[in-house]
A = this chain, B = another copy of it.
Amino acid sequence: MTSTTAPRPKPRERVLDAAARLFIREGVHAVGVDRLAQEAQVSKRSIYQHFESKDAIVADMLTEYGPRVVAGYFRPEDDDRTPRERVLHVYDALHRAAEAGDYFGCPFVNVATELRDREHPAAQVAQHFKGELTAYFERQAAAAGAASPHVLAVQLTLLFDGASASAALCGGTPLAARLAAETLWDAAVSAAR
């Protein structure tokens, strides 16, 4: 007989899954290693066999979890969308995430903010993924012939970060951010014409 259930994830994976659930929802400082061990059903000793420190768990969690977050916002860049549609899709996806409830803000910004240390390994991972968002925006802006693709991309990233913070803090849905993105985009693209 073949078992129809998936094999149980290995301890390291279980710890990272538990870390993603707890750190994203409650914050890094609010969750201790004991709680993580309990949630992952792994002994504390086993945790320290797989990870050097709690700091390393935070960094590895963001590294593993990051691509899934990013995938929710990016569109394949070879489909038939226009660059403008790809950019606005990011804000639409944020709007949907915020509407769905249980939205805690951008996990990269939240973790890095809480750590208050730009050199922390997890803060470096967070900066990497924020950089990916800016690079995605910049590719779209360059494809559309925007006047200064990098400046526009940074502005769109700031807007995204402000909107995700506001969605988490006040429960506001970020429609105003989408409108602002349209205004910034159209000003930069028409200025280039």
Given A25-B116, A126-B169, decide whether A174 and B187 contact each other with a Cβ distance below 8 A: no
Report whether B180 and A158 are in contact in the complex, using a CB–CB cutoff of 8 Å.
Answer: yes
Contacting residues, chain B, for A126 (C-beta < 8 A): 169
Question: Is A63 at the interface (CB under 8 A from chain B)?
Answer: no
Partner of A171, one of B118, B155, B183: B118
Partner of A113, one of B159, B162, B168, B179: B168
| 0/1 interface trace, chain A 175-193, chain B, CB 8 Å (1 if under) | 0110110011001100000
Question: Is A112 at the interface (CB under 8 A from chain B)?
Answer: yes
Query: How far, in whole Å, are A105 and B116 apart by their CA atoms in the complex?
Result: 9
Name the distance in Å between A43's Cβ and chain B's nearest Cβ: 25
Query: How far, in whole Å, are A161 and B104 apart by their CA atoms in the complex?
Result: 15
Query: How far, in whole Å, are A113 and B26 apart by their CA atoms in the complex?
Result: 10
Q: What are 16 A-B contacts with C-beta separation under 8 Å?
A: A110-B113, A113-B114, A113-B165, A113-B169, A118-B169, A154-B172, A158-B166, A158-B177, A159-B159, A159-B162, A159-B180, A161-B165, A162-B165, A183-B184, A183-B187, A184-B184
A104-B116, A130-B166 given; name 13 further pairs at CB < 8 Å.
A29-B30, A112-B169, A114-B114, A126-B169, A158-B166, A158-B174, A159-B180, A161-B162, A161-B165, A180-B180, A180-B184, A183-B184, A187-B187
Q: Which residues of A contact B (CB under 8 A)?
A: 25-27, 29-30, 104-105, 109-110, 112-114, 116, 118, 123, 126-127, 130, 151, 154-155, 157-163, 165-166, 168-172, 174, 176-177, 179-180, 183-184, 187-188
